[in-house]
Amino acid sequence: MSTLEVKNLSFSYGGPRMIIQDINLKIEKPGLYCILGPNGVGKSTLIKCLNKINSPTKGSVLIDGQDLTGMTNKDVSKLVGYVPVGGNDMFSMPVMDAILIGRYTQQKWKTTSEDLAIVARTMKLLGISSLAMHGYNELSAGQHQKVAIARGIVQEAPILLLDEPTANLDVRYQVYIAELLKGLSRMAKMTIIMISHDLNITAKYADEIIMMAPPGIIYKIGTPEEIITEDTIREVYGVDCEIVKDSDGKPHTILGSALWIDE
């Protein structure tokens, strides 16, 4: 397991406007941490700062006490896996090769039987073994999503960042992937940070929720019970709702009406 600390982090894409501002965060134990918040609030920007895709404009990100600024991207990739949002267009290659790309940091020139075994095991874990030798470009958006998640898992990093991993998935796999990520955090002692727009899946599976709000700040951090409240949803998302308890005692959101839209 690894610890992650974010200190006074701000980031801008070069202009005067800070996309995220003065973010402070400390994750000291494995678990499933979900980032919630409206569109454009800086969720993706934040997780891209956690693995040095974005270099902070101000502040710092530390993994196991070491500042990412002093590390190469390759060193960071050994500590932090990443699953970007959505699939991507690429030249046709078998699914196996598309997932093997995630082994770049560990792999030497030749693909070893160890590489093939971890990829084969992970494909089985995600229910895509039958697609191993299918062309990547023949797959649906949901299958692309599973390939992207598999590519992130085979990195075998102690921290895994996922940007909307349940997007494009059917309801069975939305639930399965959420359970899988929770299971990985428990059984493999991984720190998993995922962005989501699904309040109910987040409330059901997250150990902690990081709620972001305009203008790129952390509104509140806490357990699902502390964060998923009618007041918070109304204030951050601008939606009327009713919160009930599900069979596990977790908050379940029944959505009402949108209260405003952005100008």
Partner 1 sequence: MTDSTSLVNKYLTEWMKKDDTEDFSDIEKSYGHYVWRKWAFMVGCIIVAVVVIGLSLTIGTYKISFLETYQVIWDHITGNIQDVTKDDVIFNLRMPRILAGILAGAGLAVAGACMQSTLKNPLADPFTTGVSSGASLGATIAIILGISIGGMGVVSNAFIFALIPTAMMVAISRMKSASPTMMIMAGIAIMYLFGAITTVLKMWSDPEDLKSLYMWEVGSLGLATWEGVAVMTPVVILGVIAIQLLSRQLNVMATGDDNAKALGVDANKMRTICMVAVAFIAATIVSFTGMIGFVGLVCPHVVRIVIGADNRHLVPASAVFGIALLLTADLIGRTILAPTIIQVGVITAFLGGPMFLWLLLRNKSKVWG
- Which residues contact partner 1 (rule: CB under 8 A)? 48, 51-53, 72-77, 80-82, 84, 88-94, 96-98, 101-102, 104-105, 107, 109, 111, 113, 116-118, 120-125, 129, 132-135, 137-138, 151, 155, 175-176, 179-180, 182-184, 187-188, 247
Report the residue number, 21 or 44, with the smaller CB distance to partner 1: 44
Report the residue number, 41 or 76, with the smaller CB distance to partner 1: 76
Please count the other Cβ atoms lying within 10 Å of the Cβ belonging to residue 172: 9
CB 62 to partner 1: min, Å:
18
For residue 204 the two structure tokens come to: 């059901």
Report the residue number, 155 or 232, with the smaller CB distance to partner 1: 155
Q: What's the N-to-C CA distance of the chain in angstroms?
A: 43
Report the residue number, 120 or 217, with the smaller CB distance to partner 1: 120
Report the residue number, 102 or 211, with the smaller CB distance to partner 1: 102
CB 53 to partner 1: min, Å:
5
Please count the other Cβ atoms lying within 10 Å of the Cβ belonging to residue 210: 23
CB 259 to partner 1: min, Å:
34
Report the residue number, 91 or 260, with the smaller CB distance to partner 1: 91
CB 119 to partner 1: min, Å:
8
CB 228 to partner 1: min, Å:
20
- What is the CB-side half-sphere exposure of residue 202 using CA atoms within 13 A? 27
DSSP secondary structure letters along 183-248? HHHHHS--EEEEE-S-HHHHHHH-SEEEEEETTTEEEEEE-HHHH--HHHHHHHH-EEEEEEE-TT
DSSP secondary structure letters along 128-163? -GGGTTSBGGGS-HHHHHHHHHHHHHTT--SEEEEE
Report the residue number, 134 or 220, with the smaller CB distance to partner 1: 134
Q: How many residues does the chain have?
A: 263
- Bridge partners, 222 (sequence order): 209
CB 234 to partner 1: min, Å:
30
For residue 100 the two structure tokens come to: 């093997």
CB 248 to partner 1: min, Å:
10
- The conformation of residue 253, written as its DSSP 8-state character, comes to E
